[in-house]
Amino acid sequence: MISSEMEDRMVLQPLIITRYANAFGTLVLIWVPIVFMLGNSMSGAGIAGITLTSPVDWVLLVGIVLLFASAPVLAVRAWRFAVVCSPDRIVVRGYLRSRTVPIAQVIDVESDSTLVWSDDSGEQRRTAIRAFRLPNRALRPLRAHAAESLGRLSAWIDTHQRPAGEPGARLRARGRSR
């Protein structure tokens, strides 16, 4: 599902090929070096070469185990990258956490896949939208989908932030104009 709108809710997701690349790329980046180290253990240079006699060896082993165990979690989180819009908030799902931003506090959606918002104290914050952040050499259809999704997110915010009949209220309230 690329995106869906239910009653007064919208879910924006990357294309399926991007979701596969994010999920399996995470597994490959984490597991391949570990498997390589296991393969080198025959020469005594890999994980089997760790004798666990010093605290450094224990820290290294625990780090490797945690890294290996975290790969499936990160892969699932990468698969679930999305932006979930409801009338009163925007939820941005990322690798390690999901950020919930009240829609009234959103300032802008930048073209580099960043949600700019202000916290309760008025300080400006930035949240990366990993679902639509692509490498520089991404294929044109992937870039087009990301740009379209960011445009839909911006339109959703405009529609749900401004009082009925008042165009551009969000941008004027933040000192900007179209």
Q: What is the pLDDT of residues 64-73, one digit of tens each?
A: 788 888 888 8
pLDDT value at residue 95: 86
Question: What integer is the mean pLDDT of 56-81?
Answer: 83
How many Å apart are CA 139 and CA 130, to the nearest integer? 17
Instruction: Give the pTM.
Output: 0.73
Question: By CB neighbour count within 10 A (0-12 exposed, 13-18 middle, 19+ buried), where does 117 fall?
Answer: buried
